Structure 1
Amino acid sequence: MSALELLALFLAGIGAGTINAVVGSGTLITFPTLLALGVPPVTANMSNSLGLVPGSVAGAWGYRAELAGQRRRVLRLLVFSTTGGVLGAVLLLLLPPGAFEAVVPVLILLGVALVILQPRLARAVAARAERRGTTPGQGDTAWWVPAAAFATGVYGGYFGAAQGVLLMGVLGIGVAESLQRLNGIKNVLVAVVNGVAGVLFIALSGLLDLGDDAQVDWLLVAVIAVGAVIGGFLGAAVGRRLPPLALRATIVVVGLTAVAVIVVS
């Protein structure tokens, strides 16, 4: 891979880290970039999941003030989210590569749709909270939220694009907290799911004969990770001031481009 291609991937990592900290759809930046650079889809997904972990950790650290007082809730949801992430990662490794290639366009389109619908979802969540008359820090977690966290964990372990958007939808509807405090929880859950999936990718790819198209590429991981950490801190610090419409437009364009590339190839 040329220096120019690595630079493009590094910049994509910065963008993904920033978006993950603020919105939660950074995979729609880095994954299509990897595909455009000729990386096999499964290898791209495995390397991308690992590379984005440090950025998610940086984003979670940037939101540490919003996480105050939520330790018990976070730990409970981590159990379900992590279990789902394990299942999703195992499915990625055990299902035929052709199955992943077939479902990727659908998953990307789903992620794009979620990003497009996010403003409407946010308004619906805010209206629901107002009708309930709840205030941040005083609400309980709905009984179904852990199960939904498990489902988003499966999705995140298998692919992960817009996992954060899915989680914000779940948490926003089922947990009576401010969206910023929920965003802190989201960053922690995404970081752990991607990290656990990455560990499984490393362990199982060595034990199973998955072929050259299903291996972790450590150079790609490192380049994405460095960019994602920069983006994670950037997103936590100034991301709330960035125009949401511009962020969503970028994700939509890149996502649709990825679908076009996959279908044509």
Structure 2
Amino acid sequence: MILVTGATGTIGRHLVATLNAEGAAVRAISRTAGAVDGVSVHPDVEGVLRSAAPGEIDALFLHPRVAGERAPEILALAAERGVRRAVVLSAMNVDDPLEEQPSRLAGDRNRELDRAAAASGLEWASLRASSFASNTIRAFAPQLRFGEVVRYPFRGFEESLIDERDVAEVAARALLGEADGILELTGPQSLTHGEQVATLAAVLSRPLRFEEVPPEAAAAQMTQRGMPAAFVEALMARYRRHLAGPQHPPTTVVEEILKRPARPFARFVAEHRERF
């Protein structure tokens, strides 16, 4: 039995489907009611752990937004209830200054969860993922609906975008005992913002053009679209910090664990073209 938190989210829904395909028994935790891939969703991870028979749940996937500041308590309860293994979702920028980690403004507590897993006494793996490929939908799609020019800051900022499905598939392998420790997960290539837009142009067959704008102008536009000002400020700080080289240089961890190359960004775009 594997307990998956954040089961209806970006990673969790793919993870539940992957584990189901593997024939694993899954219990799903999410604040969103209903079901995911045929599995009923429960709202309270600690309630499920307490109600399960000792040793019934073998492994736990813990999302940083679900755990929050309570990661040590949740993992301690898991150990008490006979859970053997914990796999946690973290991020490649976990050791950057906290004010340069935009996802903290959305509730992620990557650093706290990463450290709690290592100190839990359980078998553990931490998925330190690079930026998700789907972030480009939020960054670029609103402009693509109205024209062929993408206005965005820091043309030369470079990162190795990862397809969320690759993160989920690595998580499944770790939950099934095939990977341990800190796993730095990236896509197969490092792309600048300008190169990401060039990839969109090639895959979507559109004459897109990247136009670099000052960070202050970009930040104002983002906040006008409803993004929290603190999130935007942290995002700009992250871009500035890593202009000297790629924030997430490609690793081979995904390929080593899954025995195939990580999905490239161009494939992600092709398979999600309607969202752009």
State the TM bucket, normalised to the shorter chain. Answer: under 0.3
Q: Scaled by the length of structure 1, what TM-score is found?
A: 0.26
Greater RCO (CA < 8 Å, at least 6 residues apart): 1
Q: As a proportion of its length, which structure holds more strand?
A: 2
Larger Rg: 2
